[in-house]
Structure 1
Amino acid sequence: MTEAASAPATPPTPPVRLTDRKRDAIVQAAIAEFREHGFNGTSMDRVAAAAEVSKRTVYNHFPSKDELFEAILWRLWDQSHAEAEIAFDPARPLRAQLLAVMEHKMALLGDGSFIDLSRVAIAEMMHTPERAQALVARLAEKEEGLPRWIRAAQQAGALRTGVDAHYAAHQLHGLVKSFAFWPQLALGQPPLPADEQQRVLCDAVDMFLGFYAVRPPA
């Protein structure tokens, strides 16, 4: 048997479909338009021109501007949380596990595009509370990773029971966002440098475990 015959064949990389390339071009163009012009100042015509596609193509992929904007937020969210589902491991130190979970959250909060688009979203949702409620509900569904980890730690006896996991997760997120999200969104402060991000994460996790951990965190 020759070397060529014995080597396993490498499967070819599937080509990117034209429709997928157009969808990606629309999303990238829309991100730039929303960041520069805000929600009300962005039109599907502008997005189509920036993406160099027809307006009909934009509507084929996204039936409305609302759906296009939400698709952008979900894409940024999914990119940051692609590896965020970390299962609780009773054999590993609590602190190391929780830091790993929260590092993915920090990656999202440090994304300049996400901050800019969050600013646009909040400004728009202040005028349409029903949209805000729907978006917050969908975000809550996507933020299940940390509550799931907390529940597993409670069941293992590592964290205090009798406390709702979503409530505890919201507390921890709040500790981080007070330094790494709200100042950037409301005051235009730059994203935290890497060393400051780590300091905020470590302090927030230590405060959380100092209150909730059943045994001293390692």
Structure 2
Amino acid sequence: MPPEGSGGKERRGGRPTRKDAAALTKRLVATATDLFLKHGFEKTSMDMVSAEAGISKPTIYARFANKADLFEAAVTELGHRKMRELEAIIVPKGDAHERLHDLARQLLDIMIDPQVIALERIIAGEAHQFPELAHRMYLEGGERVTAITASLLRQLDAYGDRTDEAARLDAQILFGLIVLPPLRRAMLESTAEKALDCALLERSIDIFVAGAMGGEARVIPSRSSGALPAS
């Protein structure tokens, strides 16, 4: 087993520095993440994590009380990392269609990455054991993705006068048109190839540009009012 410590180097004596301790924990979580995504929660043991990370089990248990706590930390950190990638997207200059196409490709590069596919599968498979974690990932995570996408849409000239609610709804529509179909397909296929239908992507962007950016939005009655749109 490799020695513990920052960069795999063992400290000769005394307690590790905060920097070394943080680096060790980061390596531990990264290793656990890879193993959980590859083997699933049940088939990943703390012995496997210890051997792969080169970190003793007492050191692991000093940081995480059990495998479930380590699993939650691994899933949460991966989710946060993907959110940071989404927040780093830059929409380039150009016309609406070109900018939407570039935005869509950047969203897809992140959202149908093999790690995200594996994460979606494992969360779905372990939702019964980790209901609060599943809730946080799908609902709270979904709201954050929507907010990030709405912020990206705000960079388009056509969104200068949209309300926050309109941008939020359009972000959900855009995500549903562009990301969900290939994401669901990738989750069900065993191949590692990204499930992207380029013709469908182009048509989806055309529909979004024409519908969300090409005309006035309908005023939809509040759900609480019980009113229905006029036929």
Q: CA deviation at 1:176?
A: 2.2
Quote the residue 1:147 is aligned against.
Answer: 150
- Write out per-residue CA displacement over residues 95-130 of structure 1, whole angstroms, 9 at most, x where no aligned residue: 222223222211113311221122111111145433
**Residue 36 (structure 1) aligned to one of 29, 38, 47:** 38
- Could you list the runs of 5+ residues in structure 2 that have no partner in the other structure? 1-5, 8-18, 216-231
Q: 1:22 to 1:199 in 2, by over 3 A?
A: farther
Q: Which runs of 4+ in 1 moved over 6 A?
A: none
- Could you list the runs of 5+ residues in structure 1 that have no partner in the other structure? 1-14
SS in 2 for 1:167: helix
Quote the residue 1:208 is aligned against.
Answer: 208
Partners of 1:137 and 1:179 lie apart in 2 by: 19
Partners of 1:25 and 1:201 lie apart in 2 by: 37
Quote the residue 2:117 is aligned against.
Answer: 115
How does 1:91-170 map onto structure 2 within 5 Å?
92-143=94-145, 144-150=147-153, 155-157=159-161, 164-170=166-172
Q: CA deviation at 1:61?
A: 5.4
**How many residues were matched structurally?**
193
Q: CA deviation at 1:209?
A: 1.0
Whether the aligned pair in 2 keeps the contact of 1:175 and 1:204 (CA below 8 Å) is: yes
How does 1:179-218 map onto structure 2 within 5 Å?
179-192=181-194, 196=196, 198-214=198-214
Q: 1:214 to 1:202 in 2, by over 3 A?
A: same
- Comparing 41-50 with 57-66, which one deviates more in the overlay? 57-66
Q: 1:20 to 1:58 in 2, by over 3 A?
A: same
TM-score with structure 2 length normalisation?
0.66
> Which structure ranks higher in relative contact order (CA pairs < 8 Å, sequence separation ≥ 6)?
1
Partners of 1:142 and 1:85 lie apart in 2 by: 17
- Write out per-residue CA displacement over residues 28-85 of structure 1, whole angstroms, 9 at most, x where no aligned residue: 321331123212332444322210112344355556221222213322x146426215
Tell me, yes or no, if structure 1 residue 72 matches structure 2 residue 72. Answer: no
CA-based RMSD: 3.3
Partners of 2:107 and 2:58 lie apart in 1 by: 36
Whether the aligned pair in 1 keeps the contact of 2:86 and 2:107 (CA below 8 Å) is: yes
SS in 2 for 1:39: coil
Q: 1:38 to 1:211 in 2, by over 3 A?
A: same
- Comparing 57-66 with 206-215, which one deviates more in the overlay? 57-66
Q: Percent identity?
A: 20
